[in-house]
Chain A
């Protein structure tokens, strides 16, 4: 097979398309079509190549045969000139009538969609224009030479039809192979590249979308947390106020009590201290919760 030139990378570059899901679908369809076409064309090319090899072989045979036949023919002509002792070419030429004895018929044969012309020899045995030539001498040799030459022309006709088929098939095979290669090495990779490009673009979009969503969620959470903390602080404050008020009431009671009894004073002061410690701890705890 021929050595192919490396295909330029530019040819396989993805097409300039807008990366959408619809284009992706279109591209996938195109790839599928290209693959089917490729396998079909490949099969066609194989069928043609098979035929081509067959014809090449037959041309070889026909050429060899023609060599032999032509040699016999030329030799029989030598025999004629020996037997008649002169040139009878003119007599033969002049006795040709208008009815052709040897006709070539052409028909067409279809090989995987290629029309090959086929030539067929058609000999009308009843026509013999120079059967009188060499009546006096050498007539048999003349007739024999005529037969041998008819065979030679038949071989030529065969060869002509094979050669024509050869040339046409050669052309068609070249075209088909070029198409197969173009699909295999350009169209399919390019479509694949385009699909990959579209996929990557779509993935990128997906990722962006995900990150955006996440960001939104985070913002939302921060917002809720802030709201919670405010609520908690509000509660604390209320609590603290309530406690203060309670303390106020207690101090008034205590003053009243101090006035009443001096002995209980020490006990009450200790208990008071303990309570303030408790409340500061509680505030610290709630603050830590808010910060999380």
Chain B
């Protein structure tokens, strides 16, 4: 076992060497998590490099990209605070892309009202929180709901910003990308909440108001009322681009090409197409998302090799 893993780690090193010497200083045996960690670090370095050169509106655009990670980080801290976890431990787990200066202070506050008044009010996310936060909401179950509501608010805000502030080809491309992101979330929330006791009102609150699915009120309403997967399939068959997703996945997640894979593939296609337009800010978005997908792919492949599951190794998404 040790031999084979050393074998493939050496191999991985050479194969990925064009990616930069990001694995150069690792002496011990390479593990999947180390690769993933290093790849993420590389991504963040790239992102920060571009960001340091950016002027308005690109700088604002890139800020918007970081907001989604901020949402995750804030919720992570809040969850940790509710459960009285060690602050340093949680901070280590935060995504560096969503880092902001006041993030560590979040864990000091114990009262959620003061949390909002003292910390969140100064962050760009304050306006998203404003819409959903009430003190009673913050227990374990609701953290996920809050996460999704925040994300919905964020997507809508980003969407508005793109249409209002960005020059012509960018806004079109971003509209496509964000609409799909919203639709993806909508479908996922609907599928994943099938077994939960969320009411349709709560679901409606989480579903973004942009995107193809949201533009049709009837579909949106039906989505929130769904009771099983079959109905969702029937519903989706009337929506053009997403028709094919459900043909392949007979039961979600079980077949070789799952719904998630279809989503990723479609998203990557959109991102690839974003590169075809020149002089747009959306390339940055496409670059970041493609990079993330690449990290996932590399992680997946190394995981397959490490776990000796080579027959599934080709299940990654490649569009370029």
Chain A positions near chain B (C-beta within 8 angstroms):
71, 74-75, 78, 81-83, 85-87, 90-91, 94-95, 97, 128-129, 131-141, 143-144
Tell me the nearest residue of chain A to B82, going by C-beta: A94
| Docked-complex contact B191 and A82, CB < 8 angstroms | no
Q: What is the CA–CA distance of A95 and B82 in the complex, to the nearest angstrom?
A: 10
8 closest A-B pairs by CB? A139-B192, A132-B144, A140-B253, A78-B303, A94-B79, A83-B260, A140-B252, A95-B140
Does B143 belong to the interface (CB within 8 Å)?
A: yes
Nearest CB in chain B: distance from A102 CB, A: 18
Tell me the nearest residue of chain A to B184, going by C-beta: A137
| Docked-complex contact A135 and B192, CB < 8 angstroms | yes
Tell me the nearest residue of chain A to B40, going by C-beta: A86
Q: What is the CA–CA distance of A99 and B174 in the complex, to the nearest angstrom?
A: 45
Residues of B within 8 A of A83 (CB): 258, 260
| Docked-complex contact B185 and A137, CB < 8 angstroms | yes
| Docked-complex contact A135 and B79, CB < 8 angstroms | no
26 A-B residue pairs with Cβ-Cβ distance under 8 Å, sorted by A, are A71-B307, A71-B308, A75-B312, A78-B303, A82-B300, A86-B95, A87-B93, A90-B76, A90-B79, A91-B79, A94-B83, A131-B195, A132-B145, A135-B189, A135-B206, A137-B185, A137-B263, A138-B188, A138-B260, A140-B191, A140-B192, A140-B253, A140-B258, A141-B260, A143-B195, A144-B254
Nearest CB in chain B: distance from A21 CB, A: 74
Residues of A within 8 A of B140 (CB): 94-95, 97, 129
Q: Beyond A131-B196, A135-B148, A141-B260, list 9 extra A-B contacts (CB 8 Å).
A: A90-B79, A94-B143, A95-B79, A95-B140, A132-B196, A134-B192, A137-B188, A138-B188, A140-B259
Nearest CB in chain B: distance from A18 CB, A: 71
| Docked-complex contact B185 and A136, CB < 8 angstroms | yes
Q: What is the CA–CA distance of A111 and B90 in the complex, to the nearest angstrom?
A: 51
Q: What is the CA–CA distance of A91 and B90 in the complex, to the nearest angstrom?
A: 11
Question: B144 touches which one: A75, A82, A133 (CB < 8 A)?
Answer: A133
Q: Do A78 and B253 contact each other (CB < 8 Å), given the known contacts A94-B79, A136-B188?
A: no
Question: How many interface contacts (CB-CB < 8 Å) are there between A and B?
Answer: 97
Q: What is the CA–CA distance of A74 and B191 in the complex, to the nearest angstrom?
A: 24
The CB with the most chain A CB atoms within 10 A, among B143, B147, B148, B188, is that of: B188
| Residues B296-318 near A (CB distance < 8 A) | 296, 299-300, 303-304, 307-309, 312
Does B80 belong to the interface (CB within 8 Å)?
A: yes
Q: Do A135 and B260 contact each other (CB < 8 Å), given the known contacts A78-B303, A90-B79, A90-B93?
A: no
Nearest CB in chain B: distance from A80 CB, A: 10
The CB with the most chain B CB atoms within 10 A, among A74, A75, A94, A143, is that of: A94
The CB with the most chain A CB atoms within 10 A, among B147, B189, B192, B308, is that of: B192
Question: B296 touches which one: A82, A97, A133, A134 (CB < 8 A)?
Answer: A82
Does B193 belong to the interface (CB within 8 Å)?
A: yes
Does B151 belong to the interface (CB within 8 Å)?
A: yes
Does B141 belong to the interface (CB within 8 Å)?
A: yes
Does B292 belong to the interface (CB within 8 Å)?
A: yes
Tell me the nearest residue of chain B to A70, going by C-beta: B307
Q: What is the CA–CA distance of A177 and B68 in the complex, to the nearest angstrom?
A: 69
Tell me the nearest residue of chain B to A86, going by C-beta: B95
Residues of B within 8 A of A71 (CB): 307-309
Question: B307 touches which one: A78, A128, A134, A136 (CB < 8 A)?
Answer: A78
| Docked-complex contact B307 and A132, CB < 8 angstroms | no
Residues of B within 8 A of A95 (CB): 79, 140-141, 143
B123-143 CB mask vs A (1 if < 8 Å, else 0) is 000000000000000001101
| Docked-complex contact B296 and A136, CB < 8 angstroms | no
Q: What is the CA–CA distance of A190 and B74 in the complex, to the nearest angstrom?
A: 83
Q: What is the CA–CA distance of A129 and B299 in the complex, to the nearest angstrom?
A: 27
Nearest CB in chain B: distance from A11 CB, A: 51
Q: What is the CA–CA distance of A78 and B76 in the complex, to the nearest angstrom?
A: 21
| Docked-complex contact A136 and B191, CB < 8 angstroms | no
Nearest CB in chain A: distance from B263 CB, A: 8
Nearest CB in chain A: distance from B283 CB, A: 20
Q: What is the CA–CA distance of A71 and B310 in the complex, to the nearest angstrom?
A: 13
Q: What is the CA–CA distance of A285 and B141 in the complex, to the nearest angstrom?
A: 141
| Residues B271-300 near A (CB distance < 8 A) | 292, 296, 299-300
The CB with the most chain B CB atoms within 10 A, among A97, A132, A134, is that of: A132
Tell me the nearest residue of chain A to B295, going by C-beta: A85
| Docked-complex contact A144 and B151, CB < 8 angstroms | no
Tell me the nearest residue of chain B to A74, going by C-beta: B307
Q: What is the CA–CA distance of A81 and B295 in the complex, to the nearest angstrom?
A: 11
Q: What is the CA–CA distance of A85 and B188 in the complex, to the nearest angstrom?
A: 15
Residues of A within 8 A of B260 (CB): 83, 137-138, 140-141
Question: A82 touches which one: B184, B252, B299 (CB < 8 A)?
Answer: B299
Q: What is the CA–CA distance of A128 and B196 in the complex, to the nearest angstrom?
A: 10
| Residues B21-54 near A (CB distance < 8 A) | 32
Nearest CB in chain B: distance from A123 CB, A: 16
Q: What is the CA–CA distance of A227 and B260 in the complex, to the nearest angstrom?
A: 134
Residues of B within 8 A of A94 (CB): 79-80, 82-83, 85, 140, 143
Residues of A within 8 A of B189 (CB): 135-136
Q: What is the CA–CA distance of A144 and B255 in the complex, to the nearest angstrom?
A: 12
Residues of B within 8 A of A82 (CB): 296, 299-300, 303
| Docked-complex contact A81 and B299, CB < 8 angstroms | yes
Q: What is the CA–CA distance of A13 and B300 in the complex, to the nearest angstrom?
A: 74
Residues of A within 8 A of B191 (CB): 139-140
Q: What is the CA–CA distance of A86 and B73 in the complex, to the nearest angstrom?
A: 12
Q: What is the CA–CA distance of A35 and B195 in the complex, to the nearest angstrom?
A: 67
